[in-house]
Amino acid sequence: MTPSSKHQQKLAIVAWVAVCLIWGTTYLAIRISLDTIPPWLMSGLRWTVAGTLLGGFVLVRGERLPPLPAWRGLAWLGFLLLVLGNGGVVWAEQYVPSGLTAVIVASSPFWMSAVEALRSDSERLTSRVVAGLLVGFAGILLLVWPDLQAGGAGGRAFVAGVISLQIACAGWALGSSYSRRYARDENVLSTTAAQMLAGGAMMAAIGLARGEWTTLHFSTKTALAFGYLSTIGAIGGFVSYTYALRHLPVSFVSLYAYINPIIAVALGVALLGEPFTTRMAIAAALVFGGVAIVRSKAPAQTQASGRSAMAARPGSVLVKPSGR
């Protein structure tokens, strides 16, 4: 591994930690926002605002947004990652308790690893990865088991929410796999802004078609939550996630879904005085144990994945959009 690649990997680890911390707080912010903002408009406005701010920052720096021919691929990414991945979670949180939402979303590493395992140019699903995912998932189950039992009789809306979350996990897995290989040499900020704008526009259109404008209003609490989601939650989290995907194995990056519920518990203890029980401590140990198991094989796999990706990619998609 060259000094440059080592530096990139260190930065990618920092970006992954940022994803864990930032997105660990967004479940609560989404729940608060939904008190007065309907789901598709909330998501659409959030990502449109974030994309506009990030795109403006790129232009102020004297850089360019992606050329028009590249927006087809970026819009596809926006659909998979944002419309399906994020929009599905937001819609589901109307009906599924936040704790149970966390455990269902935590199944995304299985989706992501399965998608990657089907590709000939990607990391293989080894026994060590499977063991790490299972250990981490056991920790999540232990953490939210009371919510899991209480949420099982929510009727048709609850079932629809669970299905929505699985669709979200599948969309996020497909989008993450594609994002890992798409325009790796292009400016992370400009391509991320384009994805945000495309995905936000699609979700806003869905909200408009559903007539959600008639119920849209802001309270002080929901406005603050929306502002947080549109800036730190969207820009900080999404840019960090995109960078981590470019330089770390997908199976490791996907473990943020295990860390997020732990962050939520820590915030409850620190800010709301909620108890930290023995069950929570064991769950946290299992989660971080799963991370350690997967992380123990990440460096070698990162090099192998990088070599295979470069061999499979004849040129940048944005430079050669007609070659797709």
Give me the residue spans of the domains in the chain: 7-313
Token duo for residue 260: 């997020």
Query: Which pLDDT does position 184 carry in this prediction?
Result: 55
For residue 312, pLDDT beyond 50: no
- CA–CA dist 181, 247 (Å, integer): 11
Q: Mean pLDDT, the chain, as a whole number?
A: 79
Q: Which helix (H) or strand (E) holds 89?
A: helix 87-92
Dihedral over Cα of 279, 106, 122, 176: its sign: negative
- CA–CA dist 5, 12 (Å, integer): 10
Instruction: Read off the pLDDT of each residue in 268-289 and give the average, rounded to a whole number.
Output: 74
* Residue pair 19/237 in contact by the 8 Å Cβ criterion: yes
Instruction: Read off the pLDDT of each residue in 8-36 and give the average, rounded to a whole number.
Output: 90
Using alpha carbons, select from 168, 156, 171, 26 the residue that is nearest to residue 104: 168
- CA–CA dist 303, 145 (Å, integer): 38
- CA–CA dist 133, 79 (Å, integer): 27
* Residue pair 239/53 in contact by the 8 Å Cβ criterion: no
Instruction: Read off the pLDDT of each residue in 115-141 and give the average, rounded to a whole number.
Output: 76
Task: Give the pLDDT band (50/70/90) at residue 281.
Answer: confident
Burial class (CB in 10 A: 0-12, 13-18, 19+), 215: exposed
Query: Which pLDDT does position 47 carry in this prediction?
Result: 95
Query: Which pLDDT does position 121 carry in this prediction?
Result: 64
Using alpha carbons, select from 96, 106, 112 the residue that is nearest to residue 30: 96
For residue 284, how far is the Cα from the chain centroid? 20
Task: Give the pLDDT band (50/70/90) at residue 314.
Answer: very low
- CA–CA dist 291, 276 (Å, integer): 21
- CA–CA dist 303, 5 (Å, integer): 9
Q: Which helix (H) or strand (E) holds 297?
A: none
